[in-house]
């Protein structure tokens, strides 16, 4: 099977440009960015509200994601997204309210549009769509609340605005003298207070103040946290909690203010602090007879956390603990804690790096103690280093380590340098050590001192500095707002800003340096590794996110990524804004798997290489500008499907599946239908635009393309003159016309079923075939008779070829023998593994494209879902420009060559869920690339009762060899030997399975540099019985 490399390759690329909405094209860098998605926020929660008459609750916080939870089952139900900026320091959601029908909710905060107006967004609960946006001139929105009768939505800030809850037109504005932090609606009134301590009762219908009481003389500070049971009002001022009636005449001191606090629906308990404590609101309080603060009661079961927000309904008290990133749920009837919802993320506090390893730790690595940040001192050198720079000279040790060469966790103790605070005769500190006291705050300043502590110069940043170090002869600072800057020392004295590092959206809390490597850690626990150079703007080489089970995702700025396992895919999403008046779109990073899962490129980025030459400059943001369509299975046998992942029952053995595909601006490309994880139907034959999955292969392809250009005119000249073309010249002139663009709309297909559960999934690509939609899935339980499994096999071998292409192609000696022996082994499994066996054997001049197509057609008429298909071929093979061709006996005309993609397509039309492909040919590893474009690494999870297995003799760039000693090809001989070897039967069940065979072939030390390529997806299949004796 060793043939001379094709000398002439001629590529014709068909480029089709399609109209894309200007909204997608005009997306700025700030409108598309990567975000961490966890079940619980890792930032401050600002409000929690229960839905009306349901045990579901919504949470909003500083990460601007709205989350809906189920308190009964303690699970996250749904996330809602609106327009948000990459840097969240200034834009935050403060408040949320649900209308009386639980159909809509409103949310707002310090979110401003381009005109500088605050935005209130109205979301539809079921769909997550933003159905309305309201604008408030130049004002933060502190509080939103729908009235219980559903008539009004009320917002507060500098003024109180009453909106019609149906039309969302502004009804009236109640002007206030001071900013309003809080209010509550009670019947037809609202109760509020201002920053001066005034308490108001205002009529919602008229907007008039009914009652006003000046409590400013009681305690300084604004009125906030207003609660009411309809009879009494509870509020806080500064550090105290008070109760009054609706006459605003009697005021009772309850006790110290322990934020947060919530009043029970019956008005009998006031829950405070971390939800473990409460006051009993008794008649003495209401009658103003209390002479001293109330006693705080404690629940038996405690969370012992740092709770910053809570909410309750009649059944549950829900609290959010910022220390553990957990939501605790307490049953109010039993007072017992029923469970919690965990973010599954960890709080990292320090990082370290060297050439090979990245370490992280859970103990904050402070460069300076807090006492030294604001005071100059004259301590001796040793004491100063010891007390103020505990890590400057210290070797930092951690046991949590990622091996950067293999991108894996290694559980060992690794010694890494932390920071470098001295360089030549200069030292860095946020103190001048008594020689000079700067009058301004020093939190955002870094001082450069000489070894003798003499002050020389300072660096002033926009935000507070949390960490700093020398890196080579430069200085790096990192701090609040994600600000990371690099300064250069001028004349051994002054510092000049030379680089700004762009990437962090949260405060940077730790850094470490090694050579020209910088690693930084954000308060969101995202680690970034940088290669420091002389560029004005530097972007991270990679970013890393780690969960509490040591699962991690590593991604490049371009969007190429690797993961520790499939579990980690759920954390990373791409956020795409669609404007202030629309919901944002979020794409799970797993949707980009086909194109952007590139561990090889991640490793190159870590070495500081430019990867654009391997990707043609394609980034995930480019792909997102052509977003994938939306797919929904809508109907099974004329019965509507309300939601995904439902289970339907039927007595039929075939059903009609209808699904809808909606264009989201990126067009509609290939559509794929899967059954039990196996591809059963594709609409559109375009190849997936998958970047070649190996850098070395990419280089090889580039070299081929260059040769192609050199011989292009020669090939054309021969064709024009009517001369016979060699095989390589004929292949290159075969025009690729299989590009397909589908349309939005409804599609309908018939799907046969097997007995029991059948999972049907549909996905669609964008028109560039780079990103796929979420799979829409239904489960169908078929109550039908079970069929006995048969094996259908197509076995082919070619020794003699019609054309040698000018002595470039040699005849083979043992391919027919290979096919005969494989057929013999298969036939012997009848009655042992399979009820029946049918083998279509083709050898020499019978191996043609037409005969293979007929064989697939004949099997398609008979095979059922329960059957197994085996395709074996031994012949010449050639990979040309990403396509893999098998050579038939009648190989003279290029149209007769067998493209493996066509075989793979034909096999997908067969009903059988279990399929095995054995390709014994040169460069047959290219067939693996074709399979990978259909079945990525997620396929093994999705393939529940199907199995797709591909065994190839050699990689796409290597040869397959024959062996005169065994009268077989090397690859087929290894297969035959393994199928008869008891040692291959790992589980000792007296059967050799396809995965046991595959594992053996992977371990073989093949001769003459032949490297088999094996891919196993899903269900294992027994293929031979061995004698137990």
pLDDT tens-digit series, residues 903-917:
877 887 788 888 899
Structural domains in the chain (count): 3
Per the structure, the complete domain to which residue 995 belongs is given by 791-1025
Tell me which of 539, 557, 583 is where a domain ends: 539
Residue 509 Cα distances to 324, 361, 370, 417, 524, angstroms: 18, 12, 14, 17, 10
Q: Are residues 832 and 913 in the same domain?
A: yes
Q: Are residues 982 and 917 in the same domain?
A: yes
- How does strand 671-675 pair with strand 678-683? antiparallel
For 395-434, write each residue's pLDDT tens digit: 334 457 888 887 887 766 555 657 888 888 888 887 654 4
Predicted pLDDT at 318: 95
| Helix residue ranges, H only, 546-689 | 593-596, 599-606, 612-615, 620-624
Report the alpha-carbon distance of residue 275 to residue 270 in Å, rounded.
Answer: 10
Tell me which of 786, 801, 826 is where a domain ends: 786
Is 989 a member of any domain? yes
Report the alpha-carbon distance of residue 81 to residue 979 in Å, rounded.
Answer: 55
Question: At which residue do the structure tokens 């919802």 appear?
Answer: 341
Q: Are residues 770 and 799 in the same domain?
A: no
* Residue (of 57, 64, 999) closest to 584 by Cα position: 64
Predicted pLDDT at 24: 29
Confidence of residue 378 (pLDDT cuts 50, 70, 90): very low
Report whether 968 contacts 962 (CB < 8 A): yes
Question: Would the pLDDT of 794 be above 80?
Answer: yes
Is 544 a member of any domain? no
Report the alpha-carbon distance of residue 339 to residue 840 in Å, rounded.
Answer: 60
Tell me which of 746, 768, 786 is where a domain ends: 786
Q: How confident is the model over 811-835, as a mean pLDDT?
A: 91
Q: Are residues 749 and 688 in the same domain?
A: yes
Q: Are residues 767 and 902 in the same domain?
A: no
Tally of CB atoms within 10 A around 285 = 19
Q: How confident is the model over 473-492, as a mean pLDDT?
A: 88
Confidence of residue 627 (pLDDT cuts 50, 70, 90): confident
Report the alpha-carbon distance of residue 861 to residue 704 in Å, rounded.
Answer: 42
Q: Are residues 739 and 841 in the same domain?
A: no
Predicted pLDDT at 941: 36
More confident residue, 198 or 439: 198
Q: Are residues 748 and 800 in the same domain?
A: no
Copy the structure tokens of residue 775. 């799979």
Query: DSSP secondary-structure letter at 834?
Result: B
Question: Would the pLDDT of 942 be above 70?
Answer: no
Is 232 a member of any domain? no
Q: Are residues 763 and 813 in the same domain?
A: no
Report whether 643 contacts 633 (CB < 8 A): no
CATH of the domain at 775: 2.60.40.10
Predicted pLDDT at 91: 77
Q: How confident is the model over 501-527, as a mean pLDDT?
A: 88
* Stretch among 98-107, 149-158, 398-407 having the lowest mean pLDDT: 398-407
Report the alpha-carbon distance of residue 132 to residue 120 in Å, rounded.
Answer: 8
Give SS3 for 964: coil
Is 1021 a member of any domain? yes
Residue 392 Cα distances to 367, 428, 512, 521, angstroms: 7, 10, 11, 17
Confidence of residue 844 (pLDDT cuts 50, 70, 90): very high
> With pLDDT > 70 as the criterion, what percentage of the chain qualifies?
79
Predicted pLDDT at 710: 43
Q: Are residues 756 and 806 in the same domain?
A: no
Predicted pLDDT at 539: 92
* Stretch among 146-150, 312-316, 874-878 having the lowest mean pLDDT: 874-878
Q: How confident is the model over 721-743, as a mean pLDDT?
A: 45
Q: Are residues 769 and 798 in the same domain?
A: no
Is 451 a member of any domain? yes
Predicted pLDDT at 954: 65
Is 429 a member of any domain? yes
Question: Would the pLDDT of 776 be above 50?
Answer: yes
Q: Are residues 632 and 769 in the same domain?
A: yes
Predicted pLDDT at 386: 39
Q: Are residues 808 and 921 in the same domain?
A: yes
Give SS3 for 4: coil
- How does strand 646-650 pair with strand 678-683? unpaired
* Residue (of 565, 554, 488, 559) closest to 519 by Cα position: 554
Copy the structure tokens of residue 237. 């001022």
Predicted pLDDT at 884: 79
Question: Would the pLDDT of 201 be above 90?
Answer: yes
Q: What is the DSSP string of 599-627?
A: HHHHHHHHTT---HHHHTT--HHHHHTSP
Q: How confident is the model over 541-569, as a mean pLDDT?
A: 85
Task: Name, of 323-327, 440-444, 866-870, the range with top average pLDDT.
Answer: 866-870
Q: How confident is the model over 465-474, as a mean pLDDT?
A: 89
């Amino acid at each position: 099977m060793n043939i001379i490399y094709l000398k002439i390759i001629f590529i014709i690329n068909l480029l089709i440009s399609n109209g894309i909405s200007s909204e997608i094209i005009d997306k700025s860098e700030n409108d598309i960015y990567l975000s961490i998605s966890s079940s619980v926020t890792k930032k401050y929660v600002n409000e929690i509200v229960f839905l009306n008459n349901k045990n579901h609750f919504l949470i909003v916080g500083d990460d601007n994601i709205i989350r809906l939870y189920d308190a009964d089952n303690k699970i996250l139900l749904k996330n809602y997204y609106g327009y948000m900026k990459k840097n969240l320091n200034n834009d935050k959601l403060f408040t949320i309210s649900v209308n009386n029908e639980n159909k809509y909710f409103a949310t707002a905060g310090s979110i401003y549009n381009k005109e500088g107006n605050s935005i209130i967004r109205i979301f539809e609960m079921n769909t997550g769509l933003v159905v309305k946006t309201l604008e408030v001139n130049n004002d933060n929105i502190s509080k939103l609340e729908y009235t219980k009768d559903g008539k009004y939505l009320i917002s507060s800030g500098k003024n109180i605005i009453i909106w019609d809850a149906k039309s969302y037109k502004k009804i009236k504005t109640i002007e206030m003298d001071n900013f309003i932090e809080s209010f509550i609606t009670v019947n037809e009134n609202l109760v509020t207070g201002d920053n001066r301590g005034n308490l108001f009762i205002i009529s919602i219908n008229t907007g008039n103040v009914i009652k006003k009481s000046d409590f400013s003389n009681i305690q300084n500070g604004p009125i906030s946290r207003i609660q009411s049971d309809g009879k009494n009002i509870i509020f806080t001022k500064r550090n105290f909690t008070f109760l009054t009636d609706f006459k605003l005449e009697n005021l009772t001191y309850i006790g110290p203010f322990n934020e947060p606090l919530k009043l029970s629906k019956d008005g009998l308990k006031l829950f405070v602090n971390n939800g473990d404590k409460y006051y009993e609101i008794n008649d003495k309080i209401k009658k103003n007879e209390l002479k001293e603060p109330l006693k705080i009661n404690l629940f038996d079961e405690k969370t012992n956390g740092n709770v910053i927000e809570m909410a309750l309904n009649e059944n549950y008290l829900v609290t959010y603990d910022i220390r553990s990133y957990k939501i605790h749920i307490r049953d109010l009837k039993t007072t017992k804690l029923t469970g919690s919802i965990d973010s599954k993320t960890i709080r990292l506090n320090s990082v370290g790096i060297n050439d090979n390893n990245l370490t992280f730790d859970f103990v904050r690595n402070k460069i300076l103690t807090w006492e030294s940040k604001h005071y100059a001192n004259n301590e001796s050198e040793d004491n100063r280093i010891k007390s103020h720079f505990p890590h400057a000279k210290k070797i930092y040790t951690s046991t949590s380590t990622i091996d950067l060469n293999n991108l894996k966790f290694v559980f060992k103790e690794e010694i890494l340098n932390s920071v470098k605070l001295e360089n030549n005769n200069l030292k860095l500190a946020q103190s001048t050590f008594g020689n000079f006291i700067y009058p301004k705050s020093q939190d955002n300043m870094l001082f450069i001192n000489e070894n003798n502590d003499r002050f020389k110069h300072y660096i002033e940043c926009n935000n507070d500095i949390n960490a700093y170090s020398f890196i080579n002869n430069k200085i790096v600072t990192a701090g609040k707002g994600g600000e990371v800057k690099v300064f250069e020392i001028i004349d051994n004295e002054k510092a000049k800003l030379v680089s700004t590092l762009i990437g962090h959206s949260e405060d940077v809390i730790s850094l470490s340096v090694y050579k020209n490597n910088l690693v930084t850690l954000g308060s969101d626990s995202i680690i970034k590794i940088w290669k420091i150079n002389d560029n004005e703007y530097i972007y991270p080489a990679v970013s890393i996110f780690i969960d509490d089970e040591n699962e991690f995702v590593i991604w490049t700025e371009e969007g190429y990524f690797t993961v520790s396992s499939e579990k980690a895919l759920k954390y990373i999403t791409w956020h795409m804004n669609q404007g202030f008046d629309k919901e944002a779109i979020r794409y799970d990073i797993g949707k980009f798997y086909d194109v952007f899962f590139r561990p090889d490129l991640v490793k190159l980025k870590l070495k500081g290489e430019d990867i654009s030459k391997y990707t043609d400059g394609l980034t995930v943001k480019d792909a997102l500008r052509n977003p994938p369509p939306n797919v929904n299975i809508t109907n099974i046998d004329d019965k509507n499907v309300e939601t995904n992942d439902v289970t339907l029952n039927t007595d039929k053995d075939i059903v009609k599946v209808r699904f809808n595909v909606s264009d989201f601006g990126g067009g509609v490309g290939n559509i794929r239908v899967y059954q039990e994880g196996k591809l059963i139907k594709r609409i559109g034959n375009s190849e997936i635009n998958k970047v070649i999955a190996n850098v070395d292969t990419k280089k090889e392809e580039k070299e081929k393309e260059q040769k192609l250009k050199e011989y292009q005119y020669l090939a054309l000249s021969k064709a024009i003159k009517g001369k016979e073309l060699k095989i390589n010249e004929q292949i290159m002139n075969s025009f690729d016309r299989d590009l397909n663009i589908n349309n939005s709309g409804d599609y309908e297909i018939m799907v046969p079923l097997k007995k029991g559960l059948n999972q049907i999934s549909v996905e669609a690509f964008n028109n560039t075939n780079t990103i796929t939609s979420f799979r829409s899935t239904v489960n169908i339980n078929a109550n039908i008779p079970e069929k006995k499994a048969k094996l259908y096999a197509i076995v082919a071998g070619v020794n003699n070829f019609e054309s040698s292409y000018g002595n470039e192609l040699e005849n083979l000696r043992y391919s027919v023998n290979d096919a005969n022996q494989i057929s013999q082994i298969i036939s012997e499994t009848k009655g042992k593994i399979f009820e029946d066996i049918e083998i279509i054997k083709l050898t020499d001049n019978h191996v043609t494209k037409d005969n293979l197509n007929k064989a697939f057609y004949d099997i398609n008429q008979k095979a059922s879902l329960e059957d197994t298909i085996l395709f074996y071929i031994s012949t010449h093979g050639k990979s040309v420009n990403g396509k893999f061709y098998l050579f038939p006996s009648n190989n003279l005309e290029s149209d007769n060559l067998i493209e493996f993609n066509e075989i793979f397509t034909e096999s997908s039309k067969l009903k059988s869920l279990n399929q095995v492909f054995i390709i014994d040919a040169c460069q047959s590893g290219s067939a693996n690339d074709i399979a990978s474009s259909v079945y990525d690494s997620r396929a093994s999870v999705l393939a529940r009762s199907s199995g797709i297995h591909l065994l190839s003799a050699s990689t796409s760039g290597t040869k397959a060899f024959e062996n005169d000693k065994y009268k077989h090809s090397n690859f087929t001989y290894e297969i035959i030997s393994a199928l008869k070897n008891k040692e291959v039967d790992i589980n000792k069940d007296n059967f050799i399975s396809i995965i046991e065979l595959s594992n053996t072939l992977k371990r073989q030390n093949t001769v003459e540099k032949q490297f088999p390529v094996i891919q196993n997806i899903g269900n294992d299949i027994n293929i031979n019985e061995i004698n137990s004796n």
